[in-house]
Structures are given as C-alpha cells and as structure tokens.
C-alpha cells in the first residue's frame, strides 16, 4: 500500500548531535512514523532515542547497522526496541551545484531495489532478531539522491559526492517480529535440503545475496546446516 509523505513539525526533547547531523531521509521517516503521544530525541541509558512510544523505543537507521549495534544491545536489556530501516526500491537523482542550493538536473535512475536488499544490513545484527524485545520494520521507499560533482566522492561514483537523501514516497512496509517471519523469503519450491545455488536459481538473485540470506537465517536459528554437497553447504528449515 502506497503512502504519501506528509511533513509534520516535530519538537525534540533534546537538541544535540543527533539533530544537527540528521539527514533529510532520517527526519522524514521520523515525521512519517511519529504518533501524537510520541516523545522525540529522548535520552535513555546514555543514548538519544529517536522516538519513545510508551515503554517502546523506536529507532530509525538509514544505513550501517554496525554503528547502531552497541546502542541496540544496551537498550534491549530493559525496553522493547523497534528498528525501522528504509530499503530503496526507486530512485530519482538530482545534481546540485557547489553551493548545494541550485539543482542543475533531475532524472529517474534505472536503479530498481528489492525487499531482499534488507539483508545487506541485516548481516550485521542477525542474532538480535531472536531477542524477545526486538522487532524490525523495513520500509520500501522511493527516494531522491542529491549529488554534487565536487571531486570528493568515491571512485565508484567518479568522485561525485552524495550530499543528501530525501524521502519521496513510502511504497510499502514490512514488519518482522520473530525469526520465523524471515522464512517467507524462502520459496516453497526449494528442495530440502537446499544450497545457496538452489536458492539463487529460485529467487533469481546474485549468489552473494543468497549467501547473506542463509547466513542471517542461520544466525537467528531459523535455518540449520544439514550437510554438504561437494563444497556447498546444505540447509534445512
């Protein structure tokens, strides 16, 4: 179900580094998620939490799950924690000048993401999925990526820097509350046991993505290694 993005003014309880360095995508997702009684930017156990909803803590992480891992471990001991992460399905690319204020061009990117892209980040915290206090929500989005040809970006982008990411539309949301929820990524036609190459053939995904999927499922105890076929591990649910 597609959801229009509406801007809602938010008031933070603490004005600190989280607010100063907050990107447009993170802020827009926080506005989209916030409910009337939510508290924003609340200090909890030495960390600043994006949203506090009663006893539940809501964190938004747009990338790099490794960076938020220590925070999650600290908060999960005393609170239910709901982690929200955007997965880009569609992208618009805007080129800006050196000031960052003037748009030179805007085009639709040929990039097409999939929900399975979530495993790119999940491989950093798969064992947390088994924690009784932990839930995950992956938000499939359309975003605008703001770029500048300033010579400071990576070689991969030909030295073009990504200056910002903006939320254009929420396309769908996907909630995962336990390891078994992730078994929905395994097609019913898979042989039992199966290899990563079997999964690749069924899902039509790159082999590295299939390896990420099986690694995550193993770490959250939703999948077990049941044998080998040559050098290939075999898995069973």
What's the pLDDT score for residue 152? 75
What's the pLDDT score for residue 99? 81
Pairing state between β 103-112 and 134-148: unpaired
What's the pLDDT score for residue 7? 45
Q: Which two tokens stand for residue 116?
A: 């399975």
Domain with CATH 1.10.10 in the chain: 184-237
> Residues with Cβ < 8 Å from 194, sequence gap 6 or more?
234, 235, 236
What's the pLDDT score for residue 100? 80
Residues of the chain with pLDDT under 50: 1, 4, 6-9, 15-18, 20
Cβ atoms of 129 and 178 within 8 Å: the answer is yes
Residue pointed to by tokens 């839930």: 135
Q: Which two tokens stand for residue 154?
A: 């990576």
What's the pLDDT score for residue 21? 62
Cβ atoms of 72 and 81 within 8 Å: the answer is yes
Number of Cβ within 10 Å of residue 64's Cβ equals 10
- CATH number (1.10.3470, 3.30.420, 1.10.10, 3.30.70) of 184-237 reads 1.10.10
> What are the pLDDT digits (tens) for 186-216?
999 999 999 999 999 999 999 999 999 999 9
> What are the pLDDT digits (tens) for 152-166?
767 666 778 999 999
Rg of the chain's alpha carbons, rounded to an integer? 20
pTM of the model: 0.88
């Amino acid at each position: 179900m597609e959801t229009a993005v509406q801007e809602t003014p938010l008031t933070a309880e603490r004005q600190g580094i989280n607010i100063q360095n907050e990107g447009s995508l993170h802020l827009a997702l926080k506005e989209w998620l916030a409910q009337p009684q939510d508290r924003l930017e609340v200090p909890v156990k030495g960390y600043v939490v994006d949203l506090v909803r009663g006893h539940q803590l809501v964190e938004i992480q747009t990338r790099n799950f490794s960076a938020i891992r220590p925070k999650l471990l600290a908060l999960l001991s005393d609170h239910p924690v709901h982690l929200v992460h955007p997965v880009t399905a569609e992208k618009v690319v805007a080129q800006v000048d050196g000031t960052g204020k003037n748009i030179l061009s805007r085009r639709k990117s040929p990039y097409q993401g999939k929900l399975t892209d979530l495993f790119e980040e999940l491989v950093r915290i798969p064992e947390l999925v088994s924690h009784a206090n932990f839930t995950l929500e992956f938000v499939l989005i359309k975003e605008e990526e703001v770029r500048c040809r300033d010579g400071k970006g990576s070689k991969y982008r030909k030295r073009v820097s990504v200056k910002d990411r903006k939320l254009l539309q929420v396309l769908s949301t996907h909630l995962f509350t336990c390891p078994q929820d992730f078994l929905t990524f395994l097609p019913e036609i898979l042989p039992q046991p199966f290899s990563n190459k079997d999964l690749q053939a069924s899902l039509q995904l790159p082999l590295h993505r299939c390896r990420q999927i099986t690694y995550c499922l193993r770490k959250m105890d939703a999948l077990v290694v049941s044998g080998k076929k040559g050098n290939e591990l075999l898995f069973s649910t």
